[in-house]
Amino acid sequence: MQHEREHYVNGEWVAPLEPTLLDVIDPSLEEPFTRIACGGSRDVDRAVAAARTAFTKFSMTTRLERLDLLRSVLAEYERRQEDIAAVLGTELGAPLQIAREWQLASAELESVIRVLEHYQFEELQGTTKIVREPIGVVGLITPWNWPVGQIIMKVAPAIAAGCTMVLKPSEVAPLNAIIWSEIMHTAGVPAGVYNMVQGQGAVVGAAMSAHPGIEMVSFTGSTRAGILIAQSAARTVKRLSQELGGKSANILLPDADFEEAVTKGVLGVMRNSGQACSAPTRMFVPADRHDEVKRIAKAVAGRLVVGNVRDPKTNVGPVVNKNQFDNVQRFIQTGIDEGADLVIGGPGRPEHLNRGYFVRPTVFANVHNDMTIAREEIFGPVLAILPYRDEEEAIELANDTIFGLAAYVQSSDLVRARRVAARMRAGTVHINYPASDRAAPFGGYKQSGNGRENGKWGLEEYLEVKALLGYDAPTA
């Protein structure tokens, strides 16, 4: 890799106009291993100008032309997947198995291609023609926890819609985005259609969200940052699509298979070191099964292997940086101080590790819904087990949150599970840990965001709707 200190603009790797460098830290070693360019407002201006110039021609391309382009991107992406998995181990601390199975997200790109193959951009409604056309230049701001997957979930539908774009990837885990930009170049994406400016969110992200030449911003990240972006974007009345924080409830109904439900629930929290906004971090269990759940959860968490991300036996790596490590440690200590029952884990690193931002897989029980660890997004490998008296209380407690990204319901009675799922105030409800559906809409209620990604809903985020009245002659 040779482009760490450059941006990708108008089909070329270019030096930054405002050159500053930022260390990229290996979270397993707590040491910098490379430095990247940090852009500024002038770098954003240059990228937006390239995207606006390219939009005139690219917005007029046909569905088949955009399909050919996306298929070319997919082919090149599949060729470079091992390169991306390797850098995710270094910059994110993702165990190789997790990087390959969960992070690479080629299925998202395939899903966009399938949607574009059949999507109807035009329809006749009486004498009026309804046309869906690209919104314009879009700003894409992606997070560090699922970095390349989120890039795909934004870039691919933007291309499918006929938009041009400026991407700001996470400065915490940026190398996968550099490889992605190399993929876009090799795949033959026309100059100016895709542009990438590296840098910090407070600088590059802020410049993008306020930029008058950008018609839409798609952002994935914290609710706090999302509020700032929304305030900035409002000045130019941009469309805003945001996927923000979560504190997802996982309701285990009394007739669930508890061995399976608890096991999968614990693993769902610990995957990616707990750094997933839709992780089922609040497990609601019948009060009379609470001790049984504690026993199962302790056994599952105790079997997890924390350590070297290149060891195939490892399934939990470090959290991404010192700030994240310190935040998670504070939450764990707060859980203890507020009286939650520490089942396993706790403060500090695992005993066998003397460096790296490794967190003990931690389970708390006897948690009440007013405790900090039940209210706030921890973004680490920490599970809270909350007892409930009956189904009605479980639903009430599950919905008692400012977030609404995801929810989970476990029951051997599908009719009952569906009834409870229907009452969850969340954008995605998982019934009995189903297989993922890349065509299903993904997004949140309440402070978990607005808009949807994936499937036809993800494509439509990047489309404007135009009505051509009097397009057809009225019938006699």
CA angle 434, 435, 437 (to 5 degrees): 110
Residue tagged active-site, from 277, 377, 453, 460: 277
Cα–Cα distance for residue pair 366/200, rounded to 1 Å: 40
The pTM score is 0.96
What is 7-244+447-468's CATH number, 3.40.50.150, 3.40.605.10, 3.60.9.10, 3.30.930.10?
A: 3.40.605.10
360: helix, coil or strand? coil
- Asked if 340 and 331 touch (Cβ cutoff 8 Å), the reply is no
Joined together, the tokens standing for residue 122 give 């035009």
Phi, psi of 194, deg, nearest 5: -120, 125
Alpha helices in 187-277 (DSSP H): 206-210, 223-233, 258-270
Which secondary structure element, helix H or strand E, spans residue 195, and what is its range?
strand 194-196
Spatial neighbors of 86 by CB under 8 A, at least 6 apart, are 96, 99
- Asked if 190 and 58 touch (Cβ cutoff 8 Å), the reply is yes
37: helix, coil or strand? strand
Joined together, the tokens standing for residue 451 give 């808009």
- Chain centroid to CA 110: 17
CA atoms within 13 A on the CB side of 271: 19
Joined together, the tokens standing for residue 220 give 């994935």
Single-letter residue type at 129: K
Dihedral sign from CA coordinates of 400, 401, 402, 408: negative
Cα–Cα distance for residue pair 18/13, rounded to 1 Å: 15
Joined together, the tokens standing for residue 430 give 């998982």
Please give the pLDDT value at position 313: 94
Which secondary structure element, helix H or strand E, spans residue 35, and what is its range?
strand 31-38
Please give the pLDDT value at position 476: 64
Please give the pLDDT value at position 102: 86
- Asked whether this chain's domains 7-244+447-468 and 249-437 adopt the same fold, the reply is no
Please give the pLDDT value at position 334: 98
**8 beta partners:** 13, 196
Joined together, the tokens standing for residue 188 give 């033959």
Please give the pLDDT value at position 18: 82
Joined together, the tokens standing for residue 387 give 């007892």
The tens-digit pLDDT sequence of the chain (476 residues) is 689 999 999 999 999 998 899 999 999 999 999 999 999 999 999 999 999 999 999 999 999 999 999 999 999 999 999 999 999 999 999 998 889 888 888 899 999 999 999 999 999 999 999 999 999 999 999 999 999 999 999 999 999 999 999 999 999 999 999 999 999 999 999 999 999 999 999 999 999 999 999 999 999 999 999 999 999 999 999 999 999 999 999 999 999 999 999 999 999 999 999 999 999 999 999 999 999 999 999 999 999 999 999 999 999 999 999 999 999 999 999 999 999 999 999 999 999 999 999 999 999 999 999 999 999 999 999 999 999 999 999 999 999 999 999 999 999 999 999 999 999 999 999 999 999 999 999 999 999 999 999 999 999 999 999 999 999 988 76
DSSP string, 275-313: --TT---EEEEEGGGHHHHHHHHHHHHHT--BS-TTSTT
- Asked if 51 and 164 touch (Cβ cutoff 8 Å), the reply is yes
Cα–Cα distance for residue pair 160/148, rounded to 1 Å: 18
- Domain segments of the chain as ranges: 7-244+447-468, 249-437
Cα–Cα distance for residue pair 123/466, rounded to 1 Å: 11
Instruction: Indicate the class that CATH gives domain 249-437.
Output: alpha beta
- What is the DSSP secondary structure assignment for residue 29, as one 8-state letter? T
Q: Is 219 exposed, middle or buried (0-12, 13-18, 19+ CB in 10 A)?
A: buried
Residue 243 annotated to the active site: yes
Please give the pLDDT value at position 1: 60
- What is the DSSP secondary structure assignment for residue 316, as one 8-state letter? B
Residue tagged active-site, from 91, 108, 243, 377: 243
